[in-house]
């Protein structure tokens, strides 16, 4: 059984499609082990995306991630990390396969609806960034 972290980003929360996106995960056989709606501070977003600190889009990415609340979720199930990445679709929604979350709910590479951990090591770090052990059931 694997766990991975999902973030429903400010654009999708503002569009009121949180339930529709969580349904994609459950319908694909993943379980919600923990979830909460939070507003990231600038420090939170900079730390979370530290790997991209030198990229030209870093400031825009941080500004976007703190522009409104997000919903962070621990997803659990067989191959949860890869399955979530498949459900999300490509980073750029214009390149995302039909039926993926980004194809259906995202507008642009900046406002692309969801984040998902991209390795098991990152998943473990990202889960502990947002959740204490007793919040994960």
Classify residue 93 by burial, with Cβ atoms within 10 Å: 0-12, 13-18, 19+: buried
Q: Which is nearer to Mg ion, 56 or 133 (CB)?
A: 56
**What does the alpha-carbon distance between residue 117 and residue 134 come to, in Å, rounded to a whole number?**
21
Pattern 73-102, ligand ATP, x by CB under 6 A: ------------------x-----------
Q: Where would I find the beta strands (DSSP E) of 9-126? A: 31-38, 70-77, 114-116
Considering only residues 100 to 119 of the shown chain, the ones binding ligand ATP according to CB under 6 A are 109-110, 112, 115-116, 118
Question: Contact with ligand ATP (CB under 6 A): which of 8, 17, 30, 61?
Answer: 61
SS3 63: helix
Q: Which is nearer to ligand ATP, 102 or 134 (CB)?
A: 102
**What does the alpha-carbon distance between residue 43 and residue 57 come to, in Å, rounded to a whole number?**
17
Q: 97: which DSSP letter? A: P
115 classed as catalytic: yes
Q: Shortest approach of ligand ATP to residue 110 CB, angstroms? A: 5
Site residues, ligand ATP (CB under 6 A) = 52, 57, 61, 91, 109-110, 112, 115-116, 118
Catalytic residues: 115
């Amino acid at each position: 059984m694997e766990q991975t972290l999902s973030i429903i980003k400010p654009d999708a929360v503002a569009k009121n499609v949180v339930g529709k996106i969580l349904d994609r995960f459950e319908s694909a056989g993943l379980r919600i082990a923990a979830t909460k709606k939070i507003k990231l501070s600038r420090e939170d977003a900079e730390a979370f995306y530290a790997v991209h600190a030198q990229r030209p889009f870093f400031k825009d990415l941080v500004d976007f991630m703190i522009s409104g609340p997000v919903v962070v979720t621990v997803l659990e199930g067989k191959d949860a990390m890869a399955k979530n990445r498949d459900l999300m679709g490509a980073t750029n929604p214009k390149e995302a396969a039909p039926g993926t979350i980004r194809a259906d709910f995202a507008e642009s590479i900046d406002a692309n609806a969801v984040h998902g951990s991209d390795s098991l090591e990152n998943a473990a770090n990202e889960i502990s960034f947002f959740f204490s052990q007793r919040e994960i059931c």
